[in-house]
Every structure is written in structure tokens, then in C-alpha cells.
Chain A
Amino acid sequence: MPKRTDIKSILVIGSGPIVIGQACEFDYSGTQACRVLREEGFRVVLLNSNPATIMTDPEFADATYLEPITPEYLEKVISIERPEALLATLGGQTALNAAVALYENGTLEKYGVELIGASIEAIQAGEDRERFKEIIDSLEVPGAHPETARSQICHTMEEVLQAADELNYPVVVRPSFTMGGLGSGLAYHEEELRQIAGTGLSASPVHEVLIEESVLGWKEYELEVMRDGKDNVVIVCSIENFDPMGVHTGDSITVAPAMTLTDVEYQQLRDIAIACIRAVGVETGGCNIQFAVNPENGRIIVIEMNPRVSRSSALASKATGFPIAKIAAKVAVGYTLDEIPNDITKETPASFEPTLDYVVVKAPRFAFEKFPTADSTLTTHMKSVGEAMAIGRNFTEALGKALRSLEDSKSPFNFAHPVDRTGSELLISMARPHEGRLHDIMDALRLGVGIDEIHEATKIDPWFLDQLALIWEIAEQVKEGPHDEHALRLAKRHGFSDSQIAQLWGTSETDIRETRWQFNVRPVYKTVDTCAAEFAAKTPYHYSSYDQETEVAPREKPAVLILGSGPNRIGQGIEFDYSCVHAALTLREAGYETVMVNCNPETVSTDYDTSDRLYFEPLTLEDVLEVVHAEQQAGPVAGVIVQLGGQTPLKLAQALKDAGVPIVGTQPEAINLAEERGAFGKVLEEAGLQAPEYGMAASAEEALQIAHEITYPVLVRPSYVLGGRGMEIVYDDESLTSYIERATKITPDQPVLVDRFLDEAIEIDVDALYDGEELYLGGVMEHIEEAGIHSGDSACALPPISLGSEVVELIRHSMERIAAGVGVRGLINVQFALHQDELYVLEANPRASRTVPFVSKATNTQLAKAAARISMGESIASLREAGILRKQGDGTLILSSAPMAVKEAVMPFNRFRTRDGDWVDSLLGPEMKSTGEVMGLAPNFGVGYAKAQQGAYGHMPTSGTVFVSIANRDKRFSMFPIKVLSDLGLHILATAGTAQVLKRHGVQVETIRKSYQGRGPNGEPTIVDALLEGKVDLVVNTPHGHSEGGQPRRDGWQIRSAAILADVPCVTNIQGMAACVEGIDALIHEQADVRALQDWNAAVEAELEGMR
């Protein structure tokens, strides 16, 4: 069937901000979809609130709406654009839920919009557990017996408890219609069940949970299935989870292809998967089906099916070279699989099943260090914030590469450290799935604990355990045997890094590398070709392996290597991938051969067609050096770009240069100037700029002394940080001492930085380009929250909402001096604080920042592209000429047609609980905690801020009840905004102290009990009760100082936790409240209209044209 001609325009819904369970894999899938649909001649209308994505770049759709993903905004877009079709299967659960909402409220019918990809029936059948169960249980598959776990659907706690009695503990709790397993868990006894099911019932939008028999410890598999409109079905990939059932697949180490299935069993899964996609009725597109297989007898249980592209689809696409999202988009518009060519072979069609001659291992990246109070046990509720994928010619090689791809020094096996626990301690520890479990197992193997015992404790398949045992045996052999070429080859064949071999041989990584090179022990690069070499691959998608034959083709054009940003983590995510992708696109245009190196399977950068060549490799010095070497063998290498992928490549810059690798753009010495405090201090001094006073303390006493000199409050942190890790603001000696005891190992080698903290300062974030002569201010962003809250967690506005032009000019001059002083060639990001009209430099990052995509979209200027071109030697003047930068002026031009752009951060607090089952606190601080962001575009700040809030939280109340609880120091400045809220018709609720003050200001207020007071004599609820009962629509709670141990006081914490639980927006600082009030006022008094980014841009360009 050829392409449908009855459709002209298609609305695509993205997945919104990055959250745990829904990350940049949907940028990858959405970008592919938009690209394909446009190539096919459709008008593509996109709605997505996430500015950091490639898909929301104006060139990927005909009309891009950076608006909240809510039914109201979607209807506005539909009424303007009148698309004939809606494609919602590529934007994760968010898009699917939005489509269901549009169907249910009649919007789709009203405007005659056809849902393509998966039908409403299919979406509901995949999501509604009871219907899914009926479908599976009625499948007829010859030779197989598909079934679902025995279970009962429950709507009340009584039903839940009764079900558990019938099914026997442990039981699994699964709420309906939540994503990433949110609110699900395993309960071993009634107390646990009450807690988990209680959460689950409230997490489910339909207050429904499933209580089901436990398949804990069973083998876990996933199949990725693709179907076209002619009912052709193929399995794209099989995935086996290293961690058996009980750990969310997003938190598991996973392996492709499946390793421990015979053909008979694999074909059973395949038959069931195909029967399932047909019965559920996914007419076209991809879906993911999860299975549990009983290792004792092969009993198969179908766990779930996602009738859409998922995180696993992204992994499967990268693991096989079969672009699931792209193909899903094509079959959605009518093509059949046999009509679509396989991009990699060019000659064969997409109607086939990829076959692998390598092993793929994905490993999760966690962020528990950001949430020290959170329980680190891995459950069916996803907690990882990112992942790395590695490809090797065998499991040991792929695992070794995956672990070092995580860029966590604790991650790769360390064979040098002594095992400090006994075998039985380790067996107990490993029985609880947690981040360090793999290391427990390795340590146990090192102590001689048998595979049987480890299997008993963990239920991990003996085949995988034997592979770990093999790694240990190799380690021993390499250590004890002669330190020769053979040993190096053996170690390399099983994934050991130079640094691991160095540990074994008691020498340095550099020594090992030199020896290895002398023996010419180097990796070869194989190709991901979908067909195990049966056909010639036309796409250079490579991975390294210590094997015989390399497949890197010679080339003539000069190559530029772009180092990506590795696995997502808090503080370094999709924004950096965005910049890398832009560099690849623009440098290809500029005539270079672009070579991407990255290991994150979720990203656009690791799509094989983003760059001319893709190396799916860890971003360590060793692995990058080898790629550089391979490419230098293949042809001229113009240089390596390190400034776009965040801290990851930046950290490698100096060592790469030392090894003779040409770094283009800002040089490592300049990077060091900006990063090293002393050196940077000199730059500032010479430039006549001021920074908050600071000192470096090598002991606790020194820290106190410095604090006294520069006066409290002070900001303390370890000397090397990323994303504000380990930072805290302390107000007195006691909390400083407590911080040092708690959070640092203070030594002269690892000093602690003590900075003066500028209380109540305005924080300003600036992105700029510098070519050695000219500075181009990309954008000046004013933070909503005061300095002290990490810039990644703070909302901000562009253009700045309160800064005068004289401040902007001051910033420009400061930027010029810093950029010149440091020696920037490309992007630089500087954070300033404006404190009592004095400008302070907080920090400078000579690289692309998190805000580059936001600024680029807000100003219609592609900063990352410009940075890449400057790195290659072009000047800002020539880029102005080429139309990449504005012909005159820069991002600070005041234009009447430009939007007010507001960014808001999105927090993962609802993912983490403490070991006692409480939620972790949602307070913001200098430590970055957000996972993603949204953007609101509007003619003024109020509407823009409201949109950003709606994008982040899904809603913003314009009526209903606001609860306020204000710290004493904030009371003075909060009375007026609260009065405004009251005047706007909102009902104000406050605890006694705040209520009393409010009354004095004439605000109508209802007093409510504090949680420690408990319910009143007549059952009067506390604030926590009211929140949980859904009686509150907005919480404003500023923290009342800190109690012992640096922990915020328990009262406020309980309120904020209840707000998370009840999914109520919670503002924790006074500036946020003021912005909120402005937003609510705007929503009440103004129209929150939608406008495509392209329309904003056209207006801005017209105005710029008129200025000439």
C-alpha cells in the first residue's frame, strides 16, 4: 500500500519535559517521525513543551507549538491548524494520554481528526489491565500457552487486602494509566501493601490498581514488534534483562539479543507477541511486549504491552540499526514494510528481522547521590535518570564498555580494592536489588562464593553469572601471568579498560596504553548492519571490538569528531545532545565529514543518520583516543569538538591535547582557566570584575575561619562538582560543621570551597559566543528564584523581566572581558548575581550550557551551530553574513515582536521515597535536582510563566484553594501577593501564624491545623489531610530554616510531601510565589493564545529587517 493521500496535515504530540521514565528517547523518536513525515510531503504540526529537544527546532515541523501538553492547548492548536490526523504513538505515555483525553472530551470528533498509529481501542486495551488480561487469556497460539499473572483489579483498600489474601504474598501493585511504573511496587505483607497500594490508588488517574501474583525472580524478556497496515509483522529485537523480574526494565542491565532462550522458547514468545499486537489491535506501528518466563519450567506470562514507541524501542533501534520510530511513522501513513527500504543496506526492505552478530548491553545511571535520603532499593518503580549502551563482540566486552560508559568511577569493576565484606554479608546485600549489586556479585566471586549460591540469592541467570566469573578468572590470569601481549589481548577481548589492567598490574593507565600500542593491540571497528554481514552495510555505524578485521572505510574530506555527553544524569542531559546534533548538522553543511562519538541510546546524536559516521563508544580517554586513531588512519582529521557535550568531553580535553589530538575551539588551557578557581580569580581581577569572596579549606577549622572572615551565609561544596553536587548554603557554625562531617571527606587534596552567599540576589544566566575579537550575546536570562537555587532548577525569563539596559550593558562588558581573558573560541556561559546593584561573577563555563537550546529557540538564533563554526575558525562577522547569527545586534535586542520566553524546571520528587516510605523533600537548593524543563512563550511574562507552570505541572489553578505557610523572614514580602490571590477569588488557607499576619492585612483566610496537631476534636483536618483529600489546588510553603543535621524542619517537609503525593503544584520560595500570582492573574484576565514558533520567528525577522 503506498502512502495515504487523503491526509495532508498531521499533528504530532511530543512527550514534554524529561522526567524519570520518559527521557530523550522521545526526542529521538519524535525527531525521526517529524523528519519522515515532512519528507513524505505532509504538513507537520508539532506540540511539545520541551525546548531542549531537536524535534522542537523550527526546521523539523511546519508549525511548532511550544505549549503545554494539555487538552486545552491541544484543542487551540487543532482549531487553528485543522490537521486531518493525529499521531500520538511517538511521544511516550504523555502523548498517548493526551490523545485519549482529546478523544474522551470529543475534540477529535469535533474537528474530524483521525488518530493514526494506534486506535483508541488499542491504546485502552494496552493500558487497561483487565481488558489486556482478557485479550491475552483468550489468545490462541499453537504450541504456547500465553497467560497473564493471576490478578485482581481493585478500587479500594478493602478490595486490595482481600485480593492479596487470595493470591498470597508477595503481591505486585500496579496502578492503571501511569507511566514508568509510577506508584507500583511489591508488597511482602499487609503493612507494605497498605502503603504501596495507597500511593498507587492516588497515582492512578482512574483510582485503580491491579493486585497480582508475584513473578519475582523469573526471567524477564522484551520483544519489539512492528506491524504495518497489511498485517505484516516483524520482531525487531529481543531483549533479556540481566536483573530478573522485580526490577523495572529501565533500572535493569539489559542485553540484546536474548541470551538464554532456545529457538523453541524464543519462537513461542514471538508467536505470542504477534498474536498480541493483532488482538490488541495496534494497526500500524511499533509496540513493546514484556514477558516473564519461569526458569523452572518455561511458563510464560505476558507482563504488559505498550502500544507505542518506548524507551526499549529506542534501545532496540540503536542495538539493531532498525529505526523503529521512523518506520512506525511510515507505516502510520500507509506504507507497508516491504515498501520501505532498510537504510543500512539500502538494497533490502524493512520487512525483515534484524540479526545481530554482537552483544548489546545497556546499563542504567542512577542519581541517588542527589537524594541521599531516598531508598536505593530497585523495584518495579523506575528510578534511574539515564542509561548507557555499549556494543561488543561478546557479553564481557559489551558489559565492560557499558560500565565505563556510565562515567561513574564506582561503576567499572575494580579488582585492586580489597573485598571488605564476607561472603555471607555479600549474599545478603545482593539479595536486595540496588545500584551496587553487580559489585556485590563480583566481590562474592572474588571470595570464591559459588554461582549456585549467588543465583539462589539474586535469581540472575547462571549464564550471566558465569560470564561475571569469567571476567574474574581473566582478571586473575592477567594479574598473575606474564605481563605480555597475550595478557593484554586476553584482557581486552573481555572488555577490560586500560585503567583496569593498570590496577591489576600496579601501574598507570598511560603505561598500559603505551605498552599496548607498542604491541599494536588496538581495537578494530565493526559495523552495526542489521544482518550479521549477510549484506554490505552502506551506513558507517561502528563499535569497537578487540577482534581481527576492521571495517572503517578510508575518506578524503577532513573529519571533525564531536564528543557527545554520555548517559543522561541530573545536570547533564538532552540539552547537550541538542548542541552536539546541531554541530553535526552545520559542519556537514560546511563540508566536513562529521563523526559522532557517544554512548547514550536515547539520543538523536546516536542516530546513524545524524552524522556521517557514528561510533557507539564510551566517552573515556582510552576509547576516544582509539576512535581518533582509527579516523586518523582513515583520512585527515581536522579536530575534535569538546565544548558541546557538557562536562563529559570537557574533562577529556587536556588529556586529548596532551596525546597530540587537535582540539578545535576553546583550548584545554582556557577551559582550565575558567574551571580552576585561583586562575579564574586572576582573570576576574585583571578584568576588574568581582566575585563573591571565597576561600579554600583543607580542614574543618579552616572552613570555620573562612566563614567568619567572609561572614555568613556561605555556600560550601567539595572542590570538584557537577550540577552543584554536594553544595549547601549554611547560615551558622553549627550547620557548617555538620555539613563538613556529613557531606565531605575534607583533606588538603580534596579541599572544601567556602563562598560568600549573596542573600536575596538576582541570578542572571548568560550565553554568549566569542571568536577572539567579537562577542555575541546569545541571551540574558533572569532567574525567577533567587541566587542560591541551582540555575538548572530555577525558572527563568528571556528577555530579563526586571533588568535595565544599563545592567545588560554591564553584563556585555563583563562577558567580553571574561571571554577574552579566558580565551574562549565558541560558547561561554556565565552566571552572575546582582546584589544590591553590584554585579558579581558566580561562575563561568567555557562550553555549551544547559540553556543553549532555550536561548536559541527564544531568539531564533542557532547558537550551537555558530559555536561549531567558530570552533572551525569562522568569525562572528562571517556568521552574521551567512545568516546564522543576526546581521546586527544580538540576542539582547529589544524587539516588540519577540516573545517573552519562560523556562521552568521539572522535578523528580515523586520518584523517590525514603527507607521509611516517606517522600524525599522537595525543597530547592544549590544542588541541582531537576530532570527536565519546559518553555512557555507569550507576549508577556504573566502568560508565559503560567504556560511554563502548566507545562511543568499540567495545570495552574485560577480558582479553588491556596494554602500558604510562610517563613517569618519572608512574611513581609508575601502579604501583598497573597492578598492579590484572595482578590482574584481564590480561597486562602493558612496555618495559625501565617493566618494571623494575613488577617492584619485584611486578607480573608481560613485557619487550618498543622500536621503535628492532628485532627481536631470535631475531625477538623490538618493541612496534610486536606491536601490528600484533594481540597487544595496550590501550595506556597517557604522553609522555616533548618533543623539539626541540615534537614529542613519536619512540618514543612510533610506538607511538601503531601503536595507531591496529591500532585499539587508547590512553590517553595517567595519569588516563585510572586511569579505564580502574576501567572494566575494573567490566566484570569488574558487569553493564553497559542502561536507557532515559526510565526514568532517570522515576526521577529520582519522586525529585524525593518530595523536595517
Chain B
Amino acid sequence: MARQPALLVLEDGTAFQGESFGAQGETFGEAVFATGMTGYQETLTDPSYRRQVVVQTAPHIGNTGWNDEDDESRQIWVAGYVVRDPSRVRSNWRSNRSLESELVKQGIVGICEIDTRALTRHLREQGAMRVGISTETLNAHELQQKVLEQPQMSGANLVCEVSVSEEQVLPAKGEKRFTVAALDMGVKSMSPELMSERGMEVHVLPAEIPFEKLQELNPDGVFFSNGPGDPATADAEVELLQRILDAQIPFFGICFGNQLFGRALGYSTYKLKYGHRGINQPVMDLTTGKVEITSQNHGFAVDAKVGEPKETKWGEASVSHVCLNDDVVEGLELRGDGKLKGFSVQYHPEASAGPHDSAYLFDRFAQMMEENAQTH
């Protein structure tokens, strides 16, 4: 692919010269870095990256091409893609086409041949910020002005932009044991997949679904997915979740779902300096003291204190998981009469990309629904 000169400029004016990668043109978003060494296909198709320009710290990207099986959603969501050394060939028995052809097909503007480590260090020190990539202008000042005109990630409500418009049902694999209402705020396909494998019939629902319609499904449990944007803007979803809790339906949330669970329980959320985006993040399950290596992708977090449970009208809420790198809250749980009523994690137990250490949480969800069914 013929490469054109390309330019990357951050909102603070820091500029990197590189070459075009993927589609040519201009793109803007929030610059974030992702440290996974595998799984670029899953990363690119993760809806949580909506409006974000992903800087890949692993230098060689595209080595295994693109296949028809590993997409985590219906399209690539990143706003832009920054890599150092794109692969010239693809080498994998499952590969159907090259990464770059897929980027071009989906109109994703990227940039390559830049010092991604320098950029990452800058973002680490200065925090996530807005960025522009262009093959149209190579004037840094001009591009910076455009970057500054872009909306901030804080205050952005992006859920509706990524959610399905209509209900989709994934049947249970094997014997059906539960019905799960899964609110799609940017769900990755592996989450419904892992639920389905555990005998759950998964109804993937638009994020804006009214409580009554959700109740019509008579779900055994409700699942809130991951998703992009600022959780502080998702008031409607928080209200919905509070009604779900009122109705005593077991709840399981991931990532954005964890932040909404936090808000529903009365905690606030805040923006991290540069977020957690990688597949090597250590999280401790505070109930067992065991460490899981987790896949993470979040720029916001719940503001709660470890070891200080909080009384809510549904029972006692507490922090269940914590990131060992920086003590950020990574999970919450709600217990009434000692029984688990709902729980959520900030990271990605569905992995894809990432380690499978936390897949047990889907079993825990099933167990919670089972126990709830027995008591009702």
C-alpha cells in the first residue's frame, strides 16, 4: 500500500510525523494507549473504543492479518489507529485478509512509523487528551486548532451510538437454564457467547429500553455491558438499573456496567488520568485474596473505598475487586441478608482480547440467578 506522509497532533500541540496507515483522510478522538501484545482485531472492534484513537504500544501490528471469527462486534469502532511497524504480510491459518485492507474498507484513518513509546509516555505524564491524525494537512498548528474544536470525552454520552437498535436473541447452548436481559451499551460478542455457553438465553437489548419492556422478558438476571463514554452522563440507564434492583432481579455488570452499578448504589465516578487499557492488569478478588490477570479498557472509575461497606436500600454494597497496580476499584457487589444480589467488575471477564482468568464470573452470575430462583 502506498504510504503518504501523515501527521498526528495532540491537543497540547505535541506533534509526530509519520506515514499513512489504513484509510487516508483526517480523524479525531481521545488519544489512549493500549498495551496488549495480542488481540488487535478484538481491540479495534471493541465498541468501548468509540471516539478514541488507540495507540498500540506493541510495535508489530497486523502480523496475523484479519479473520472472520474474532470480531467483537459488527464493525471497527476506534476513531483512529496509531502503530509503529505495520506488517507487510499476514501469517496465520485463520487469516482471511490483511489488517490494512480492513481498515481501508471501514474507513479507519491510521498512522504508522511513529515513536509510539514516546507518545505513550507523553500520554502517561500528561493524561489522555484529544488528538487528530491527518494525511490532508501536514501543518501541526492547523491540525491542533481542529483538535481543540473536538468535544471532550468527559461529558460524552456515546452509548446510543454503539447500541443495537433492535433486540437480538442468542439461544442458550445446551439446556436452557436462564433468561438474561443484556443491555447493549457497546457489548463485545464474547460476553453473550460465554453466557450462552452456561445455559443462558441472552436477549441483547438496545440501551434505551424502558424498564417495562425489559420486565416483559421475565428475565432471571440482567446484564449491563461495557461501553464508551462518560458514565456520569448515563442517567437514564442508572435509573433503569435502580428499578431492576427494586425488582430484585439479579444483576451482573461489566466495565461501563460496573460504573452504572456504582452510580445506582450511590457512588460517583471520575475520569482516570490515562485509564487502564491492556491485558495484563492484576486484580485482587478481595473475598478470596486471589489475583487475576485481567483484560481492561476503561478511562473512568467508581469512587468507592475499599473495606468500607455502604448501606443501600437494597442491602450492603462494597468493593469486591481492586487493581493492584493503583488501587482503582475494579468490582462491586451488593448483598442482602448475606446473599449476593448483584455484582459487577470494571474489567473484562469475557477477555477477547486477554486472559481467561476471570471467566468464573459468568459462573458466579449463573449461580446467583440459581440461588435467587430458589428463594423466590
Q: Which A positions have Cβ atoms within 8 angstroms of B?
A: 142-143, 230-232, 234-235, 238, 257-267, 270-271, 295-298, 336-338, 347-349, 351-359, 393-395, 451, 461-463, 466, 470, 526, 531-536, 547-549, 551
Contacts and interface: CB of A to CB of B under 8 A. Distances in A.
Nearest to A398: B59
A536 B124 contact: yes
Given A295-B93, A463-B63, A356 B37 contact: yes
Given A295-B93, A463-B89, A270 B355 contact: yes
Which 3 pairs of residues, A with B, have the shortest CB-CB distance?
A263-B39, A549-B118, A548-B115
Task: Say which size band chain B's interface belongs to.
Answer: 35 or more
Interface string B307-331: 0000000000000000011100000
A355 B37 contact: yes
Interface in B88-121: 88-89, 91-94, 114-118, 120-121
A352 B281 contact: yes
A462 B67 contact: no
B177 interface: no
B35 A531 contact: yes
A230 B85 contact: no
Contacts of B281: 352
B280 A271 contact: no
A270 B356 CA distance: 9
Contact of A349 (B63, B64, B124, B324): B324
Interface stretch (B229-237, B261-269, B283-291): B283-291
A462 B58 CA distance: 20
Interface stretch (B5-13, B136-144, B346-354, B367-375): B346-354
23 contacts: A231-B290, A232-B290, A260-B64, A262-B39, A262-B67, A262-B94, A263-B352, A264-B69, A337-B291, A348-B282, A348-B324, A351-B324, A352-B280, A356-B58, A357-B59, A359-B59, A461-B91, A463-B89, A466-B89, A470-B88, A532-B35, A534-B33, A534-B120
B118 A547 contact: yes
B22 interface: no
B125 to A, nearest CB: 8
Nearest to A256: B37
A261 B282 contact: no
B70 A262 contact: yes
A393 B118 contact: no
A1060 to B, nearest CB: 42
Contacts of B117: 357, 393, 526, 532-533, 547, 549
B214 interface: no
A265 B115 CA distance: 28
B339 interface: no
Contacts of A296: 93
A549 B325 contact: no
B324 A352 contact: yes
B57 interface: yes
Nearest to B39: A263
B189 interface: no
B120 A359 contact: no
A395 B325 contact: no
Given A261-B38, A349-B325, A470-B88, A533 B120 contact: yes
Contact of B63 (A259, A351, A353, A451): A259
A336 B288 CA distance: 13
A393 B84 contact: yes
A548 B69 CA distance: 37
A349 B282 CA distance: 8
Given A262-B67, A349-B325, A547 B35 contact: no
A548 B282 contact: no
B115 A260 contact: no
A357 B291 CA distance: 24
B220 interface: no
Given A264-B69, A264-B352, 15 more contacts: A142-B356, A238-B37, A258-B38, A263-B353, A336-B291, A338-B324, A351-B291, A359-B59, A393-B117, A394-B60, A462-B89, A532-B117, A532-B278, A534-B278, A547-B118
Q: Give the interface centre of B85, B278, B279, B290 by most chain A CB atoms within 10 Å.
A: B85
A354 B280 contact: yes
B89 A263 contact: no
A260 B118 CA distance: 25
B36 A355 contact: yes
B248 interface: no
Nearest to A451: B89
A235 B359 CA distance: 17
Nearest to B278: A355
Contacts of A355: 35-37, 57-58, 278-280
A551 B35 CA distance: 19
Given A349-B324, A549-B118, A338 B93 contact: no
A353 B280 contact: yes
Interface string B18-47: 000000000000000101111101100000
Given A349-B282, A355-B280, A266 B325 contact: no
A547 B353 contact: no
Contacts of A257: 37, 58
Contacts of B41: 262-263
Nearest to A263: B39
A394 B59 contact: yes
B118 to A, nearest CB: 4
Nearest to A536: B124
A352 B59 contact: no
Contacts of A142: 356, 359
Given A262-B92, A352-B282, A532-B35, A267 B351 contact: yes
A264 B193 CA distance: 14
Contacts of B91: 260, 461-463, 466
